[in-house]
Copies of this chain bind each other. A is one copy, B any other.
Amino acid sequence: MAKITPISGFPEWLPEQRIVEQRVLDELRARFESFGFAPVETRAVEPLEQLLAKGETDKVRYVLRRLRAVGAVAEPDADGLGLHFDLTVPLARYVQQFRGQLAFPFKRYQIQKVWRGERPQRGRYREFYQADLDVVAQDDLPLSVDAEMARLLVDCVSALPVDPLVLGVNNRKILQGAYEALGIGDVAGTLRIVDKLDKVGARGGRVALVAAGLPEPAAYTCLALGRIRTPDASFRDAVRGLGLSGSLLETGLDELAFVMDALDDLPAGRVVANLSIARGLDYYTGTVYEGQIPTDAELGTVCSGGRYDDLVGGGTNVRLPGVGVSIGVTRLLGQALAEGRLAASRPVPTCVLVALRSAATARAARDVAVALRARGVPAEVFHEERPFGKQLKYAQKRGIPYVWFPPADAGAAHEVKDLRSGEQVPADPGAWTPPAADRVPAIVRAGPA
């Protein structure tokens, strides 16, 4: 057998890491459900025509081919299927497919792995978890939902074992309106350049804009617009200061001001109007979001989203506008897990190891475990007859906090030992409960080494 090596871009975790990831997914799910979002899970595959037409079209897809193992004959036909690379394209398809059976506005969350065949690099994965929230309405979707989604993002990420999020909000109509006011013909191309400003810098951006055919003053104004960042609705004055006007621009400014005003009760600095945010995706038509963890800038964008007025209708005459956000769970956690800055306090759920005195008393030991589990205390019976010293070592190696000793003689007392303090006390299997903090593994965060 060949040596087993990891596959680059496909992260895998030890149990003490997976426990953290699972806890985070649970927390997100609980928050999403507490806001009334319904769970949806879509199949991992979509027809290739869907995968190629939408989303970040420069990303590499995984295509499926069937292979019969006996003789390893590859079937010529690939069924035309590929793995989904996000959860938005599947949502658009799902809503169209099940439209008659869904109630609108349709509020759904979806937490699944997605796959991208890109060259792996630090913080980038080929297989990773995304957690998406979307609201899709029939005909009209009020702007208050755009604010609500921003609030949800901030609320959800603040519940996770990561540093505070700063969520940038912008509105595509501001950028498009400004570009129109500047007489720029290629709005989409300009958006793509502006979207990369953080990566290429102001000078690189200006060069790219001029190379794309923009006059120097227009390029300058585009860059000046993208530098506007305000903690409230005061971005309006800064935009007017650039001498820009127009009805689309005004609509965008009104919409963004509405969203910022609706969020003014959040802690200062959590949400920022950031007029550089464009988002690369074609389908956004209004509000756009992009969140970073400023104390860990290397992570890049950890959540993002926006409003799309035409994604879901897909060419039919039904209008299904939506607004959605996506949290990059693996990106948020991956490095901290890999570097050991984030881990569970023990690699097993077990809170109590029930010691096995002898094979003859296995049933009595089992009954203790059954009684503990019935009160929500994860418990396992040691699996074979061995000296207690070996059994204690088994528990210590796994960080199991308690070892239970059933009595040698019927009628004698059970005892439970706390392996951390060494204290051993009599205990009733039908009543004893550990402190809540010991019941399940704790999540332990540490600063960088």
B residues near A98, Cβ cutoff 8 Å: 14
B residues near A397, Cβ cutoff 8 Å: 103
B residues near A21, Cβ cutoff 8 Å: 41
A349→B58 contact, CB < 8 A: no
B residues near A43, Cβ cutoff 8 Å: 7, 10-12, 127
Answer whether residue A51 sits at the interface, using C-beta atoms and an 8 A cutoff.
Answer: yes
Answer whether residue A117 sits at the interface, using C-beta atoms and an 8 A cutoff.
Answer: yes
Shortest C-beta distance, A207 to chain B (Å), equals 23
Answer whether residue A18 sits at the interface, using C-beta atoms and an 8 A cutoff.
Answer: yes
Query: Within A22-39, which residues are at the interface with B (CB < 8 Å)?
Result: 22, 33-39
- Chain A 369-389, CB-CB to B under 8 Å as 1, else 0, gives 000010011111001100000
Answer whether residue A408 sits at the interface, using C-beta atoms and an 8 A cutoff.
Answer: no
A45→B127 contact, CB < 8 A: yes
B residues near A57, Cβ cutoff 8 Å: 69-70
B residues near A14, Cβ cutoff 8 Å: 98, 101-102
B residues near A7, Cβ cutoff 8 Å: 43, 45, 47, 81
A34→B347 contact, CB < 8 A: no
By beta carbon, the residue of chain B nearest A147 is B362
B18→A39 contact, CB < 8 A: yes
Q: Which of A105-113, A220-228, A416-424 faces chain B?
A: A105-113
B residues near A144, Cβ cutoff 8 Å: 359, 362, 383-384
B22→A39 contact, CB < 8 A: yes
Answer whether residue A203 sits at the interface, using C-beta atoms and an 8 A cutoff.
Answer: no
Answer whether residue A238 sits at the interface, using C-beta atoms and an 8 A cutoff.
Answer: no
Answer whether residue A59 sits at the interface, using C-beta atoms and an 8 A cutoff.
Answer: yes
Give 6 A-B pairs besides A4-B96, A43-B127 with Cβ atoms closer than 8 angstroms: A10-B43, A18-B39, A35-B379, A58-B70, A62-B66, A107-B348
Residues on A lying within 8 angstroms of B by beta carbon are 1-2, 4-7, 10-15, 18-19, 21-22, 33-45, 47-49, 51-52, 57-70, 72, 74-75, 78, 81-83, 93-94, 96-98, 101-103, 105, 107-108, 113, 115, 117, 127, 135, 141-142, 144-145, 148, 262, 265, 314-316, 347-350, 353, 359, 362-363, 373, 376-380, 383-384, 394, 397-398
13 A–B contacts from the bound complex (CB under 8 Å): A2-B49, A14-B102, A15-B38, A15-B40, A34-B373, A36-B348, A38-B348, A43-B127, A45-B127, A59-B69, A66-B117, A103-B347, A103-B394
